[in-house]
Each structure stands twice: as structure tokens, then as C-alpha cells.
Structure 1
Amino acid sequence: MNKRTAQVAILTVTLTLMAPAIGGGATPHPDPTIDPVMVTSGFLSGHPDLRFRLLALQKRSEGKQTAAFEFFMRAAYYGDKPSAGMVAEMLWDGTGTPQDRAQAYAWMDLAAERGYEGFLDLRERYWAKLDEADRERAIVVGQDIYARYGDAAALPRIARALRFEKRRMTGSRTGFTGNLRIVVPAPGGGTEEIDGSKFYDERYWDPVQYQQWHDAIWRKPRVARVDIGEVRQLPQPDLNTRIPQVDPIPDDPGQELPPTDEMPLLNGNPIRP
């Protein structure tokens, strides 16, 4: 696969989640990050995976590639597979980070961990371009990446974040009940009210339903097929990873990036938590 073709494909996949629906089959629940009322109401405070991906895309659009790479890493730490795919792409090209194609493969393998078709395809195209030495190293470094960023480690993190923020905002372990109205800062100034049933939709806060929502969007994403040079047809990718299963590494604050309160911009202004 031509390098530019891969770039177009992965970027199209990544931006798909910014649209409210995916064509074909049942329509997934809309992405709350496209609703400015939802994101200004503190929604992103409880969804660090989405917050850091939006920050990464913002930094990338501003030409701040190193910062974009770091924010994609943060999002992947909370199980965001599109961000893992972008970490892979940036490692493959040496954008915002030194080029390392063995690590790039391992990260794309991680992006494909849940069987998302677009990332499986790109994983196999990466593998086809690696020499034997890089393939061997990819398997080795991939084990450490999976131990820290694989679903066995990452899904409990995002589950804790979802539950903590929902309890904090509702003041109850039982979650939202009743005719709750939430007053939030409006995108153009002033305030607006939203129905609590929208904000606290279980698909956004229950860890199992939250992952099912992601799966509905990413299982068969719209990946652009752009012809730039010769593209060799590859076999249907195997769903299985080449990287041996490893135990997750317990969270070690000393090994992670420093915390940040930075929020994405909305209409040029920072989103308030």
C-alpha cells in the first residue's frame, strides 16, 4: 500500500466518529462530541478517551504534531482504538515522534484488537512492508504495549472514569433518575437546559454499553479507498493478533504522562469541564 493511501485511509477512519451516523445497517447512537451543548456541559470530563482524541486532532490541525502524538497516546491509555491507530500512523511516518515501524505495527495491532475491519486491513499492510528483523522486534515491543494499553488494562481505566464522573455529577451511586434538568453553558454564551435523560444515556456511562456503542461505530468503518500509485491486493486479514497474550501491568503513576486539565476548543474557546 502506498504510504499516502494508508494516511488517507486511517485519517478517514479516525474522523468517522465525528459524524452522527455510519452508513449501512443499524444507525449507532449519535456521537455526543458533535453536540456543543453536551461537550460544554462537562461530558468530556468523564470521557478522557474522547477528550484526549479531540485534543490530539486539534493539535494535529494546528501543526503541533508532537503534542498530537502525546494526546493520542493518552486517549489510547483509556482504550481508544482510533487513537491507537493514529499513534501507529505517526510512528510509521515519523510524524511528531521518531520513526519506528516495528512499534508502528504493534500499535496498529493494538488498534485492531477488537476486530475493527479498517485497522485489521492496515495492520496487514504494515506487516507486509516489514523485514524479518522488524517483524521480530514488533512482536517483542508489542507485548509491553499490550500490557499497558491493551483492553485488559485500558477498559478498567475508562470504566472507573465513567463511574466516578457519573457519581460525582448525580450525587448518587444509582445514577440518574427522575425529571432532572441540567443547566449548562451554551456555546454562544448564556445558559441552556438539557434533559438529564440525554446527558445520562446509559450508552455513554455504562462501561459495557459504552464499548458496544464504540463497536457499533468502528466494527465496519467507512475507510476511503483512494488510488495513489499501485496497491497490491492483500488476503483477508486474520482476526487474531500475532503478539502473544500478556498480563496487564498495574497502573504506575510514575510511568505515565503528567496529568493535564486542558480541554479541546469549541468555536475557538476552551470547553469548560
Structure 2
Amino acid sequence: MSSFLLCLSFAATAQAPANARVLTAQPPPERAVYGNYLGEPGIPPEMLTSGFLTAHPDIRWRREGAYSYNRKEYELALDQFTRAARYADKPSQAMIAEMYWKGLGVPQDRELAYAWMDLAAERMYPNFVIKRERYWALLDADQRRDAIERGQQLLAEYGDDAAKPRLAKVMRQAKRETTGSHAGFVGGGLRITPMTGPLAGTGMTIAPEKYYAAEFWDPQAYFVAQDAEWGSTRHGQVDVGELENVPATEEATPDPEATPEP
């Protein structure tokens, strides 16, 4: 997964009034690692079967995008991140912003990059808010007006009001199609044996009540769990002041990650 998804690649401090809360960069979310298979924050590795990923296209397409990005297949990565972005995946929206900002796989377009990062910061995840403010500080007045105008169309298609219901529909349909319809999946003390994913072939099993826990399948609980993992402030408005100029540091290269099964 790209290091940008885990932590900011720059150092920054914010100057704000004494009574304002200052946003600070957050450490990488915890992720289980099995060999070269990097897990997802808050999701046990045994859950990441092909069926689970199909039911959670936000995760599936972000993982596909990260794999392509690490291979420097930027055009493919952008398409895959965009698919994830349609399902309310904020890290993917941030990666799209970074690609437009740097011109990776697309012509450099910093106004569009800001619009995407503004979307990524919609839930006030600290790292994305800080990055958005850094972008804003580097745009001139005309670029800022253009970025805001172009962002309205993106908001209508990829903002949470549109994208969260889109993901919720897929999750609910997938759960209806699997719960109670396959032997070994639910009820009667039966357990799930992962046939795909990082723990396929290990012989381990998963209790249905764990696999179908609300935080993985109930859309509202799922988004609450995401907020906890990605560091949402969840305390209302946060004031971010002007960023100080600091010496640039070399950006880390993305960590290799095995592609998830289709």
C-alpha cells in the first residue's frame, strides 16, 4: 500500500489561535501482515476472502489500485482508485489527488488535485485535511476559484451523500445472497473455512457471528469503524491555520503488496 495512505510524506505544523484545536498528522493505522500480504486496518486477515472483497468494492479496488501503483502502472492504478472512490473510499480519493498533483499517469492538474483531496478530507481525517490545506496554500487565487468550481461535480458523484448509499447497497445485497444460502456459512454451530485470501489452505475457520459482525456488514457501523481506524476527529469543526514552510523530506516509496484475489 502506498505510504501516502499510511502517513504524510511531509512535515508540517499549523499556526492557530490559542483556543483552536490544531490538527496533527496521525501515525499509520495498524495493519496485520502475512508474508507480503498487507492487511486492512481493523479487519482480520482471515476475513479478506474473494467473497468479502467483492462485497466491499471500496477495499477491493483500493487494494488493486495500490498494487498497480507500486508497479508504476499509473493509468491502471488511477482507474482502480477511481472505482474505489465511487464507493466512498477516502484513501483512494486521496491517492487520486496525489496522482493529479504530481502528474502520475495523467497530466498534472493541481486544481483537480485539490478538488479530490477536498473530497478525501470530507470526514476530517487528519492526514487528508492537512494535505488539503497544503495544496490550498500552493494555489493562487485563480486556481483556487477553479478548484472549488470543479469540485462541485466531483462532490455530486463521489461525495459521501452519493457514495455511501452506493456502497451500502452492494454490502446489503451481498449479505442477503450469502447469509443462510450456503452450507457451512451460518447457523447450527457451523463455521466458515476461508478458501481464498491470505489464510486459504491453513485449515483455520471463522465463526459466522464474527464474519458477519455489524462492523463489517452494517453500513452505518462499517463507516463508524472506518472513522476510528483512519483517525476521524468526530468532534465537529477543526481550525487549521497557515502552514509553515519546512525543509522537504524525501518521499518514501510504496511498500510492495500482493494483489487481492478477484
Q: What is the TM-score when the length of structure 1 is the normalising length?
A: 0.69
The structure in which a higher percent of residues are helix is 1
Partner Cα distance (1:127, 1:133) in 2:
12
The residue that corresponds to 2:261 in the other structure is: 271
Aligned counterparts of 2:258 and 2:200: Cα–Cα separation in 1: 9
Change (3 A) 1:40 1:131: same
Counterpart-to-counterpart distance in 2, 1:14 and 1:46: 29
Query: The residue matched to 2:72 in structure 1 has which SS?
Result: coil
Which runs of at least 4 in structure 1 moved beyond 6 Å after TM superposition?
5-8
Question: Shift of residue 119 of structure 1?
Answer: 1.0
Q: CA deviation at 1:15?
A: 9.9
Report how far residue 19 of structure 1 moved: 1.4
Is this contact kept in 2: 1:7–1:89, CA < 8 A? no
Matched ranges for 1:67-146 at <5 A: 67-146=76-155
- 1:61 aligns to 2:70 (yes or no): yes
Higher relative contact order (CA 8 A, sep 6+): 2
**Partner residue, 2:8:** 9
Q: How far apart are residue 159 of structure 1 and its match?
A: 0.4
Out of 191, 195, 214, the position equivalent to 1:181 is 191
Displacement of 1:180 after TM fit?
3.7
Give the whole-Å Cα distance in 2 for the aligned partners of 1:7 and 1:100.
23
Instruction: Give distance in 2, aligned partners of 1:142 and 1:162.
Output: 27
Whether the 8 Å contact between 2:120 and 2:128 is mirrored in structure 1 is yes
Taking a change above 3 Å as real, the CA distance of residues 99 and 57 of structure 1, as seen in their structure-2 partners, is same
Q: Identity over the aligned pairs, expressed in percent?
A: 42
Equivalent residues in 2 for 1:34-53 (5 A)?
35=45, 37-40=46-49, 42-53=51-62
Q: 1:12-34 CA deviation, whole Å, 9 max, x = no partner?
A: x89945615xxxxxxxx9532x6
RMSD: 3.3
Question: 1:45-82, CA deviations, whole angstroms, 9 ceiling, x for partnerless residues?
Answer: 11000001101111111111111111111111100111
For 1:31, which of 36, 39, 42 is the aligned residue?
Answer: 42
The count of aligned residue pairs is 216
SS in 1 for 2:145: helix
Distance 2:109 2:164 in 1: 26
Equivalent-residue separation in structure 1 for 2:26 and 2:81 (angstroms): 11
- Match for residue 209 of structure 1? 221
After superposition, give the CA deviation of every residue in 1:223-255 in whole Å (9 maximum; x if it has no partner). Answer: xxxx97269xxxxxxxxxxxxxxxxxxxxxxxx
Residue 194 of structure 1 aligns with which residue? 206
Asked if residue 166 in structure 1 is aligned to residue 175 in structure 2, the reply is yes
Secondary structure of the residue aligned to 1:85 is helix
Counterpart position of 1:229: 247
| 1:206 shift after superposition | 0.3
1:267 Cα shift? Answer: 5.7
- Normalized against structure 2, the TM-score is what? 0.72
What is the alpha-carbon distance in structure 2 between the residues aligned to residue 266 and residue 230 of structure 1?
27
Matched-pair contact (CA < 8 Å) for 2:7–2:28: no
Segments of structure 2 that go 5 or more residues without pairing to the other structure are 11-24, 33-39, 234-244, 250-255
Structure 2 Cα separation of the partners of residues 202 and 14 of structure 1: 26
